[in-house]
């Protein structure tokens, strides 16, 4: 039985009770066309809204490790925002279920800080070639602080249901995504909420519906067309 964490603030689960890892692989990895999309890049940056338990990060880390060295980017940078950080002990409790992630979980916990302060960015060298920048605070306050530039190759939008957490799906987030995206950047998210799709569209993202995970019929993916 999977011990699925539930947020008190948002009355929502962190990942699918059915199989969170399979959901991550379907929605965020396949949804962003990984690993094919990172092949041939020297450096590749993923940016996530909502670090939570770190399940998405561990799945991306595992995928990168499994790729032949000549195909994967030399450096993988994973940036993630989190307003309500979990402790290392909580992350261990929630993710230990997946034996196939045991090694990656240990790698994360070995560098995960004991205390995480708001307004801070913790740059963690998780393994050689993979860096995690964990930014603690509200994404609406922290994302605008990232320096201008084509930084992000793909986006994992994972901030609880838009109906229960509209703040995570704001115009501030969408306009900063456009500001920080490389031309042709990908995004993927589990939601097909109309205001999210319109908000991304207004910022230059081409938005498509594809099959969702499990009982969710549809999800959204897309590409940033530089305006
Ligand atoms: C669905 S969970 C993320 C699941 C996560 N990706 C994982 O692998 O476990 C959404 C996360 O977004 C965080 N969050 C919600 N609102 C936020 C905000 N305004 N700014 C930053 N993080 C926020 C929550 O605390 C929660 O950890």
* Dist CA 119 CA 83 (whole Å): 9
Q: Is the CB of 139 under 6 A from ligand 1?
A: yes
Task: List the one residue out of 2, 47, 78 whose CA is nearest residue 189.
Answer: 47
From atom 11 of ligand 1, which residue's Cα is the shortest distance away? 50
* Long-range Cβ contacts of 5-13 (<8 Å, 24+ apart): 5/52, 5/53, 5/86, 5/90, 5/94, 7/84, 7/160, 9/84, 10/160, 10/161, 10/164, 10/165, 11/164, 12/160, 12/161, 12/164, 12/165
pLDDT value of residue 54: 98
CA of 140 to the centre of ligand 1 (A): 12
CA of 12 to the centre of ligand 1 (A): 10
Q: Is the CB of 169 under 6 A from ligand 1?
A: no
Buried b (16+ CB within 10 A) or exposed e, 204-222: bbebeeeebbeeeeebbbb
pLDDT value of residue 227: 63
Q: Is the CB of 158 under 6 A from ligand 1?
A: yes
- Which sequence spans correspond to the domains of the chain? 6-224
Q: How far is CA 147 from the centre of its chain?
A: 19
Ligand 1 atom closest to residue 56's alpha carbon, by position in its atom list: 8
pLDDT value of residue 221: 98
Low-confidence stretches of the chain (pLDDT beneath 50): none
Give residue-wise pLDDT tens across range 72-120. 999 999 999 999 999 999 999 999 999 999 999 999 999 999 999 999 9
Superfamily of domain 6-224 in CATH is: Vaccinia Virus protein VP39 (3.40.50.150)
Q: Is the CB of 167 under 6 A from ligand 1?
A: yes
Task: List the one residue out of 19, 15, 46 whose CA is nearest residue 190.
Answer: 15
pLDDT value of residue 177: 97
């Amino acid at each position: 039985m999977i011990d699925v964490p539930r947020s008190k603030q948002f009355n929502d689960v962190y990942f699918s009770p059915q199989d969170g890892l399979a959901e991550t692989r379907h929605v965020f990895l396949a949804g962003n066309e990984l690993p094919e999309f990172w092949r041939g890049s020297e450096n590749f940056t993923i940016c996530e809204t909502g670090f939570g338990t770190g399940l998405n990060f561990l799945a991306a880390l595992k995928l990168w490790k499994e790729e032949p060295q000549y195909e994967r980017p030399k450096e993988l940078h994973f940036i993630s925002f989190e307003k309500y950080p979990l402790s290392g002990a909580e992350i261990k409790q929630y993710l230990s279920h997946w034996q196939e992630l045991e090694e990656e979980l240990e790698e994360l916990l070995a560098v995960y800080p004991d205390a995480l302060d708001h307004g801070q960015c913790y740059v963690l060298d998780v393994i050689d070639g993979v860096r995690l920048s964990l930014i603690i605070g509200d994404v609406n306050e922290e994302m605008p602080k990232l320096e201008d530039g084509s930084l992000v190759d793909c986006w994992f939008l994972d901030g609880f249901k838009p109906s229960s957490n509209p703040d995570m799906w704001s115009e501030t987030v969408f306009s900063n995504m456009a500001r920080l995206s490389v031309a042709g950047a990908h995004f993927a998210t589990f939601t097909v909420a109309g205001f999210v799709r319109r908000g991304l569209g207004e910022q230059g993202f081409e938005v498509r519906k594809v099959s969702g995970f499990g009982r969710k019929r549809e999800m959204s993916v897309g590409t940033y067309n530089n305006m």
